[in-house]
């Protein structure tokens, strides 16, 4: 009987059996009559032990000389050993046969420290490293959790165009592409199309790549990122926030349940995620500005500003970073400071209408603020969701399009939606890479995308 080919994350089900792994070598330690091979196969890492007496001289010596990243098939007996290293730990393979598929050329990524530019130039190889592997596995879980939550709640997935004729999230960061004799733009959002879709399907979402010509180099911005955008008919801002907090909690809890090994590899303090459950705190933009002004005054007076856990605020080297007056948008430092006041993600609602997109519904009686909400992730991570209630009245929408200096023609169809059975409706966009960066507790968004696109990087 041929031995079954299994993956490392299935070792637990084969203790005592002979199995075959198809793997790559990421490290090895010869010790006298033994060679400890660390193998990885995409699902995990496992220690495989070769005993000299079980092999002919040539095979044993060849194994001893194997370079990192050589591809192998290894057949052996699965042993449970709580001390065995690996991911998940606790299993070891007693090697009976080993076949070399390819002896790797000298691998450029060695255990020594490498600079970030070197690693990014070698992103096609770097993704094999333990941390990058863990991050991208979490990313896949996040994407799966997004779909499963929405699919399970009556949301229909709709594909929205990537080639679009107009701007929705501001004209400053549009990627222009030639479109025969005309121009087109890469989509900044699928929202406007989803607003059409809800009148046919009730609740929908689009999920795909999104493009922003972000001219700034920050640790939060990619030029191409993945965004999921649910849109819901007969839904006001309060109802939207309830959906958002359940959605985000589901994503976090799914990762905690399914990626314990990956989070351990990332050294993530999971106690900072375990309690992420509804409800999330809510604060208005007005109150947030007041808090920021207060925090800045305290920092200037050398009075410590305390986080939600009683420890001093981090990451604000200079109080001037918190400069703000009513009407200004938040920058990264504002979000960094605010989010440390809460153990959970926090909603900031009611931003000034003037700094938000043209489609957001102003508050009746106070049109200078709009029914918008950003969700800011804790520990200084900041915005992961932007959302709002949309303008439902056609005249008001036309006014706002004009005020924003946008041409009316490309938006005719969008205004039309408000003429044929308009209803209060709301939606939001969640950035996948921002969410992964937060959940994984990593520093820079570039590691949350397999092949990130940044202002200064398109290779590989």
Task: Say if residue 270 is exposed, middle or buried (CB neighbours under 10 Å; 0-12, 13-18, 19+).
Answer: middle
Q: How far apart are CA 303 and CA 318, in angstroms?
A: 14
Q: How far apart are CA 99 and CA 62, in angstroms?
A: 10
Q: Computed over its alpha carbons, how large is the radius of gyration of the chain?
A: 26
Give which of Mg ion, ligand 4AD, none residue 349 binds (C-beta under 5 to 8 Å, depending on kind): none
The residue from 319, 345, 362, 386 that contacts Mg ion (CB under 5 A) is 386
Site string for ligand 4AD, 189-228 (x = CB under 6 A): x-x--------------------x-x------xx--x-x-
Output the DSSP codes for 108-173. Answer: S--SS---HHHHHHTHHHHTTSHHHHHHHHHHHHHHHHHHHHHHTTTPEE----SEESS-SS-STT
Q: Which two tokens stand for residue 455?
A: 């202002």
Only segment of 48-56, 298-306, 320-328, 379-387 that touches ligand 4AD (CB under 6 A): 379-387
Give which of ligand 4AD, Mg ion, none residue 429 binds (C-beta under 5 to 8 Å, depending on kind): ligand 4AD
428 binds ligand 4AD (CB under 6 A): yes
Minimum CB distance to ligand 4AD smaller for 76 or for 382: 382
Minimum CB distance to ligand 4AD smaller for 74 or for 227: 227
Task: Tell me if 416 sits within 8 A of 230, measured CB to CB.
Answer: no
431 binds ligand 4AD (CB under 6 A): yes
Give which of ligand 4AD, Mg ion, none residue 447 binds (C-beta under 5 to 8 Å, depending on kind): none
Site string for ligand 4AD, 165-194 (x = CB under 6 A): ----x-------------------x-x---
The CA-atom distances, in angstroms, between 115 and each of 106, 122, 127, 342, 428 are 19, 11, 15, 34, 37
Cα 366 off chain centre by: 35
Helix axes 432-440, 237-258, angle to 10 degrees: 50
Only segment of 77-85, 304-312, 329-337, 383-391 that touches Mg ion (CB under 5 A): 383-391
Q: How many residues bind ligand 4AD (CB under 6 A)?
A: 22
Give which of ligand 4AD, Mg ion, none residue 296 binds (C-beta under 5 to 8 Å, depending on kind): none
Site residues for Mg ion, window 129-168 (CB under 5 A)?
A: none
Give which of Mg ion, ligand 4AD, none residue 245 binds (C-beta under 5 to 8 Å, depending on kind): none
Q: How far apart are CA 61 and CA 30, in angstroms?
A: 10
387 binds Mg ion (CB under 5 A): no
361 binds ligand 4AD (CB under 6 A): no
Minimum CB distance to ligand 4AD smaller for 263 or for 384: 384
Q: How far apart are CA 93 and CA 76, in angstroms?
A: 6
386 binds ligand 4AD (CB under 6 A): yes
Q: Which two tokens stand for residue 153?
A: 């709640």
Question: Minimum distance from CB of 238 to ligand 4AD (Å)?
Answer: 16
User: Omega of the bond prior to 87 within 30 degrees of 0, cis?
Assistant: no
Give which of Mg ion, ligand 4AD, none residue 250 binds (C-beta under 5 to 8 Å, depending on kind): none
Nearest to 72 by CA among 27, 115, 29, 109: 27
Site residues for ligand 4AD, window 68-107 (CB under 6 A)?
A: none
Minimum CB distance to ligand 4AD smaller for 133 or for 225: 225
Task: Tell me if 95 sits within 8 A of 50, measured CB to CB.
Answer: yes
Which region, left, alpha or beta, applies to residue 315 given φ > 0 means left and ψ of -120 to 50 means alpha?
left
427 binds Mg ion (CB under 5 A): no
Nearest to 381 by CA among 329, 327, 433, 309: 433
The residue from 69, 74, 133, 229 that contacts ligand 4AD (CB under 6 A) is 229
Cα 42 off chain centre by: 20
Question: Minimum distance from CB of 383 to ligand 4AD (Å)?
Answer: 5
155 binds ligand 4AD (CB under 6 A): no
* Residues at the interface with ligand 4AD (CB under 6 A): 169, 189, 191, 212, 214, 221-222, 225, 227, 229, 383-387, 427-431, 433-434
* Residues at the interface with Mg ion (CB under 5 A): 386
């Amino acid at each position: 009987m041929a031995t079954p080919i299994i993956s490392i994350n299935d070792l637990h089900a084969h203790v005592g059996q002979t199995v075959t792994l198809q793997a790559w070598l990421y490290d090895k330690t010869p010790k006298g009559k033994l060679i400890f091979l660390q193998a990885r196969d995409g699902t995990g890492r496992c220690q495989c032990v070769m005993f000299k007496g079980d092999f002919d001289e040539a095979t044993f010596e060849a194994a001893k000389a194997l370079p990192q990243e050589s591809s192998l098939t290894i057949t052996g007996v699965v042993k449970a050993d709580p001390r065995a290293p690996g991911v998940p730990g606790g299993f070891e393979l007693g090697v009976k046969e080993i076949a070399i598929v390819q002896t790797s050329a000298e691998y450029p990524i060695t255990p020594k420290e490498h600079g970030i530019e070197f690693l990014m130039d070698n992103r096609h190889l770097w993704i094999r490293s333990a941390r990058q592997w863990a991050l991208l596995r979490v990313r896949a879980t996040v994407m799966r959790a997004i779909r499963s939550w929405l699919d399970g709640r009556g949301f229909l997935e709709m594909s929205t165009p990537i080639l679009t004729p107009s701007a929705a999230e501001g004209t400053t960061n549009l990627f222009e592409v030639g479109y025969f004799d005309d121009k087109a733009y890469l989509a900044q959002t699928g929202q406007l199309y989803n607003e059409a879709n809800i009148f046919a399907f009730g609740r929908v979402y689009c999920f795909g790549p999104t493009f922003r010509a972000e001219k700034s180099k920050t640790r939060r911005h990619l030029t191409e990122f993945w965004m999921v955008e649910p849109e819901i008919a007969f839904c006001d801002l309060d109802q939207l926030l309830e959906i958002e907090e359940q959605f985000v909690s589901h994503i976090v809890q799914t990762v905690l349940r399914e990626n314990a090994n990956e989070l351990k590899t990332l050294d993530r303090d999971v106690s900072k995620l375990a309690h992420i459950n509804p409800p999330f705190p809510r604060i208005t933009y007005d109150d947030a500005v007041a808090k920021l002004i207060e925090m800045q005054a305290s920092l200037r007076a050398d009075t410590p500003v305390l986080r939600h856990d009683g420890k001093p605020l981090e990451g604000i080297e200079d109080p001037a970073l918190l400069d703000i007056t009513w009407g200004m948008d938040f920058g990264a430092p504002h979000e960094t400071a605010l989010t440390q006041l809460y153990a959970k993600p926090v909603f900031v609602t009611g931003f000034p209408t003037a700094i938000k997109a043209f489609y957001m519904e102003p508050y009746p009686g106070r049109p200078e603020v709009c029914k918008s909400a950003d969700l800011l992730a804790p520990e200084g991570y900041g915005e992961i969701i932007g959302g709002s209630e949309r303008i439902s009245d056609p005249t008001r929408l036309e006014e706002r399009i004009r005020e924003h200096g946008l041409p009316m023609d490309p938006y005719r169809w969008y205004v039309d939606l408000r003429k044929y059975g308009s209803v209060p409706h709301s939606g939001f966009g969640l950035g996948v890479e921002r969410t992964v960066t937060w959940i994984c507790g990593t520093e820079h968004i570039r590691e949350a995308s397999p092949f990130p696109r940044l202002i200064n990087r398109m290779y590989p």
